[in-house]
Amino acid sequence: MASHVLAIDQGTTSSRAIVFRQDQTVAGVGQKEFTQHFPRSGWVEHDPEEIWETVNWSMAEALENAGIGNADVAAIGITNQRETVVVWDRDTGEAVFNAIVWQDRRTADICSQMKDDGLEPLFTGKTGLLLDPYFSGTKLRWLLDNVPNARARAERGELCFGTVDSFLIWRLTGGARHVTDATNASRTLMYNIEENRWDDELLGYLKIPSEMLPEVLDSADNFGTVEGDSPLAGTQIMGVAGDQQAATIGNACFEPGMMKVTYGTGCFSLLNTGGELVRSKNRLLSTIAYRMDGTTTYAVEGSIFVAGAGVQWLRDGLGLIKSAEESGALAAKADPEQAVYLVPAFVGLGAPYWDADARGAMFGLTRNTGPAEIAKATLDSVCYQTHDLISAKRGDWRAGGTQTVLRVDGGMVASDWTMQRLADILGVPVDRPQILETTALGAAWLAGQRAGVWPEQNAFAASWARDRRFEPRIDDASRSADLAGWKDAVQRTLTRRD
């Protein structure tokens, strides 16, 4: 009997496939980076064909590294970069334009006009989201308005819209299934998260034909069978979740009040609020954490656009390090007397500021500032932004300020220096799991338990294991001084003070 589960983790900078054994240990991995396209300032695009090619390559590589074939895989789970928009031809499956990435800010003017028209309360009330270029809806509107013949073709039913999960499922199933899951749908500005349906009123304001939209399924469901010459032909896709919701599941944050923070290209915190749809008073997002057996679990989310992307900037933009792993060691050499702050608003600021027009800035530079101080400021900015998110959650929900330990995951958490600094700035212990790839693990669990080869929720939660706990080491006065400097730097960077 097949007992392995393969997770496709389609991220912002690379595609990965991870084969998990029945005991949730990793049997094999395949990973391949793909090209980032920046056609204009603030615009970010991906080539959907390159995404598709890297996903297929990664699946084949993971199977080879695991020493198994497709007959050994019980099910596939998919997790994906959220909010990224793909539009493709319903007959050929070919994309009509590059994927517009979640980081892209080209629709800032559309969002501003909709706010001026008084539409934000309507959209927030139905979707839990704010009118910001981050989300899919205005990206899709831009694409229909700017790609020749796209709107007319969409209205004739010739084009499909999807987030990356939908595009991959369409391709994997040979065009047999045009589907998504509730977590991805909840990030589009088009999905009513209380009524669990595409909302015709919102579609009307966004000028988006409903014929383009995928069917919305539970996060653990039958998404179709892989067809064609894929290395996993004949295998069923049984789990799908957006990357941050998948990380919440992978961290076993199933109980209301549990919270995780993921450090990837961006940084994202989710607080499980159970069956209660909480409306944030602090410009955070209400979203769907997962939907299982028709029952929706909600979350309050804070989103930071630049976390690991800041480390990439140190490496690729400034050339201060040769690999991401060097960032912590370089930061540790920084002069403790220099208070240097980086506000990494390279693509605007996310929660709780939501300033699409803000741009990155650095403060406190002296003649003695060098690579170490810049590296420290970059890593510090991630910790400070996390503090902003957690502070904003306090008061939003009855349990929002009670958690005393934070569960973390993602590539950046491998750095002991960064995790210790995070604990110092937050003033709470930080728990790093044994399995750092919790995003892929969450997608694998959705598929594996649906296939009957992985444990149910309670047993899976009991298997979560900690690698290390980081305890705060600095005193309250030092923490307060650091945070005061950060808040001053942010205020100097914002383009509006509302």
- Chain mean position to CA 242: 7
The one-letter amino acid at 138: T
**What tokens appear for 469 in the block?**
């706990």
Sorted by where each starts, the structural domains of the chain and their CATH numbers stand as: 4-244 (3.30.420.40), 252-433+465-498 (3.30.420.40)
Instruction: Give the whole-angstrom CA distance, residue 256 versus residue 460.
Output: 16
The reported pTM is 0.84
Alpha-carbon distances of 425 from 153, 159, 284, 331, rounded to whole Å: 52, 48, 20, 15
Print pLDDT tens along the chain (498 aa): 788 999 999 998 899 999 999 888 899 999 999 999 999 988 999 999 999 999 999 999 999 999 998 889 999 999 999 999 999 999 999 999 999 999 898 999 999 999 999 999 999 999 999 998 989 999 999 999 999 999 999 999 999 999 999 999 999 999 999 999 999 999 999 999 999 999 999 999 999 999 999 999 999 999 999 998 888 999 999 999 999 999 999 989 898 888 888 888 888 889 888 998 988 887 788 999 999 999 999 999 888 888 888 998 999 898 998 888 889 999 999 999 999 999 999 888 887 888 878 899 999 999 999 999 999 999 999 999 999 888 877 666 665 445 567 889 888 888 899 999 999 999 888 989 988 788 999 999 999 999 999 989 999 988 888 899 999 999 999 999 999 999 999 999 998 655
Instruction: Give the whole-angstrom CA distance, residue 469 versus residue 452.
Output: 33
**What tokens appear for 435 in the block?**
């399995």
Of 304, 312, 309, 325, nearest to 261 (Cα)? 304
**What tokens appear for 491 in the block?**
């205020």
Of 191, 87, 212, nearest to 139 (Cα)? 87
Q: Note whether 79 and 141 are within 8 A (CB).
A: no
Q: How many CA atoms, within 13 angstroms, populate the side-chain half-sphere of residue 170?
A: 28
Neighbours of 25 (CB within 10 A): 10
Tokens 């294991």 locate to 465
Find the distance separating the first CA and the last CA of the chain, reported in whole Å.
59
Instruction: Give the whole-angstrom CA distance, residue 437 versus residue 396.
Output: 29
Beta strands at 259-263 and 236-242: parallel, antiparallel or unpaired? unpaired
